[in-house]
Chain A
Amino acid sequence: MALLNDLVNMNLSDHTESFIAEYVWVGGSGMDMRSKARTISKPISSPSELPKWNYDGSSTGQAPGEDSEVILYPQAIFRDPFRGGKNILVMCDCYTPQGEPIPTNKRNNAAKIFSHPDVVAEVPWFGIEQEYTLLQKDVNWPLGWPVGGFPGPQGPYYCAIGAEKAFGRDIVDAHYKACLYAGINISGINGEVMPGQWEFQVGPSVGIEAGDQMWIARYILERITEIAGVVLSFDPKPIPGDWNGAGAHTNYSTKSMREEGGYEVIKKAIEKLGLRHKEHIAAYGEGNERRLTGRHETADINTFKWGVANRGASIRVGRDTEKEGKGYFEDRRPASNMDPYVVTAMITETTLLWKPN
């Protein structure tokens, strides 16, 4: 049992009732993930049974040094694919000792929106397509690209296979199984148009789940790239020029959209989104202006337009939805570094709660 491997993979269930809970939260930049672990001494069945915890907020830019405790409230539990056994990952959000959500806590507001009775009645579904880029460590140049140069132009890489076209598949495949194991509603993966770029989709998730699952999926992904010795980037335009950016297209539907006559509900919802284009764009991710240029399958950041099967639009409606008269639509504006709590809550708020004057 001397090998590091054996110790890391040891199954504790034979020896103790205790298990390990990794508390995960979002740090001061709104995009960096942090986590630390603690031992839980007896079995639990829901997040509310887990103790609140705290961390040093002055080390993550979330609190001053003289009053540095930030409190972690456990919100969602997943199986830990790295420790196995009964061990868990816990998605948390952050509060001051007085019980106020700190500024980077976007979940609190989202939870309020999702518990509004009008929203609960409409059962909002989300399917989020998270794109990301893998970079070589130390040089921060995309995986598979020659250092100091560029690969051949885009075309051969989308959904491709082969050593000269697909870079990093092991990370993507390990992530897929790890998420299934953890209990995340991962619905698919694919290689993207830019070499070294990949995408996974989580959904359909209802309401606040979408954000919880997406954050834990991102956490698992970064843990895996850490193991692989590769750097993960959610930058929306990692390489300027004739290379695709990375987005987080968010597919959305409500009960009325999924039922007969839903297409009309969809069109009305899209209209309302059009009237709040600037507010949404401001909340859809830092640096998105480098990505939403009107080229590379995006719509220009200042323009709002929608279309059926049109990948150059802000909102795309699938042919199926048009044909069946009901379904869902895809908001293509969010950048890969968007906060899923913010985006899902905002789309819900604009389409279900907001009234244009």
Chain B
Amino acid sequence: MAQTLVPSLQCPKGIACNSRRMVSTKLWNSLLVPSHGRRSRKGGNAFKVLAVSTEKSGVVSRLEDLLNLDTKPYTDKIIAEYIWIGGTGIDIRSKSRTIAKPVEHPSELPKWNYDGSSTGQAPGEDSEVILYPQAIFKDPFRGGNHILVICDCYTPAGEPIPTNKRYRAAQIFSQQKVIDEVPWYGIEQEYTLLQTNTKWPLGWPVGGYPGPQGPYYCAVGADKSFGRDISDAHYKACLYAGINISGTNGEVMPGQWEYQVGPSVGIEAGDHIWCSRYLLERITEQAGVVLTLDPKPIEGDWNGAGCHTNYSTKTMREDGGYEVIKKAILNLSLRHQEHISAYGEGNERRLTGKHETASIDTFSWGVANRGCSIRVGRDTEKKGKGYLEDRRPASNMEPYVVTSLLAETTLLWEPTLEAEALAAHKLQLQV
């Protein structure tokens, strides 16, 4: 297991190795196996975290004990890690504070603030950006009653700052028409793991390439699957935290993985995806591996990374839903450009029409067709109801934007009759 996990620390002559310590198999085992037999101060079954390994003999590693300390017998205080999205729209930031006692609901938590001038979100002379707590999850790194808090960002005057996409999404999801339709989302987040320093995919030979795609999708084996510990640790961490993670698999490109979150209703989808991304990057940080959500990490005959978004409404899930799905697809076809521009930076490198994508300029749909913009499952077609899969979003998409845009285009927006008729003809949809 250590073999696939630790990136090759090949140090070119003359340059000292990065002092980042090697991860030993023993410590990684503790991450996956519930702790038993290992002495611990109360709370022995807490989710154990990976600590900095001290290889020196004669030095007891007491760091792990401190990291896994159950504070409950000594204090009611809990640690709340406030998490927000930084100035690039994809960088995640967090800092923690002590809260006097455990809380049940985000409204019980105080608003906070941070230095926006350090994240490109405010000028130095007026640097405070305010954090509003929006969703709580259990902290798998600290255990106990400690929590993670997903926040969004506002000016001191109470206006959402430009990178705050949650605000508008929340507005859309609180419209009565949308509430009535109970929109469900299942998001398939793909991601690539890279070796530190070289930034070359995990498991790839530095300076070269692995054998072509084929053997790697859902594979097992030291020569085919790289970084499973990260994916598995992430799965359990998400379940512990209360994230609605529904599955995981190894992807077509070696070093690439996917997990799915859903079904989530409305704004939850965004909250859960951001928290799951946070957990993932905390885990890769511990593993000494770099996480990238770039939609096309390696040019050429290698798959990109997407964030396919499965979507359904109440009427789509009921009898006769297939017609509703077709109408939704029609609406989406008429707003292709708006959606594409909001579906992630750099998506044009990924949506080429090859590697199971549709070209970025063309809108298409089909049953069981992975080369389309929108895919409808055979089950849905057969039962006459179900859901659709929007395959266009890139792995670095903003989930608040994508989920709310899908709801907006299919539930709140109406095309003109002529446009609708033209599109129906083009797509051969009888609606």
Chain A interface residues toward B at CB < 8 A? 4-6, 8-9, 79, 81-82, 84, 136, 139, 143-144, 146-148, 155-156, 158-171, 173-178, 180-181, 183, 186-191, 193, 224, 227-229, 297, 307, 309-312, 318-319, 323
Contact = CB atoms under 8 A, between A and B. Distances in A.
B114 A170 contact: no
Contact of B52 (A79, A82, A170, A188): A170
Contacts of B214: none
Interface residues of B, number: 63
B60 A8 contact: yes
A173 B61 contact: no
B124 A163 contact: no
B276 to A, nearest CB: 13
A187 B59 contact: no
Interface of B: 15-16, 18-20, 39, 41, 51-52, 54, 56, 58-63, 65-67, 69, 71, 74-75, 77, 79, 86, 91-98, 113-115, 117-120, 124-128, 141-142, 156, 196-197, 278, 281-282, 284-291
Nearest to A160: B93
Contacts of B119: 158-159
Nearest to B17: A147
A158 B60 contact: no
A165 B282 CA distance: 11
A192 to B, nearest CB: 9
A99 B294 CA distance: 67
Nearest to B61: A227
Nearest to B80: A188
Given A187-B97, A312-B125, A163 B67 contact: no
A158 B115 contact: yes
Contacts of A82: 62
Q: Which of A158, A163, A310 has the most CB of B within 10 A?
A: A163
Nearest to A182: B74
B117 to A, nearest CB: 6
A85 to B, nearest CB: 10
A181 B115 contact: no
B388 to A, nearest CB: 33
A164 B291 CA distance: 9
Contacts of A193: 118
Given A176-B96, A178-B69, 20 more contacts: A4-B58, A8-B60, A146-B197, A158-B93, A159-B119, A160-B92, A161-B278, A162-B281, A168-B52, A169-B286, A170-B63, A174-B66, A178-B66, A181-B71, A181-B74, A190-B96, A297-B118, A310-B126, A311-B115, A311-B124
B25 to A, nearest CB: 18
A227 B19 contact: no
B114 A159 contact: yes
B56 to A, nearest CB: 7
17 contacts: A143-B19, A155-B120, A170-B51, A173-B67, A174-B67, A180-B77, A181-B71, A183-B74, A186-B98, A188-B96, A188-B98, A190-B94, A190-B96, A224-B63, A228-B52, A229-B59, A297-B117
A161 B156 contact: no
A180 B285 CA distance: 24
A312 B75 CA distance: 37
Given A159-B114, A160-B93, A227-B54, A170 B62 contact: no
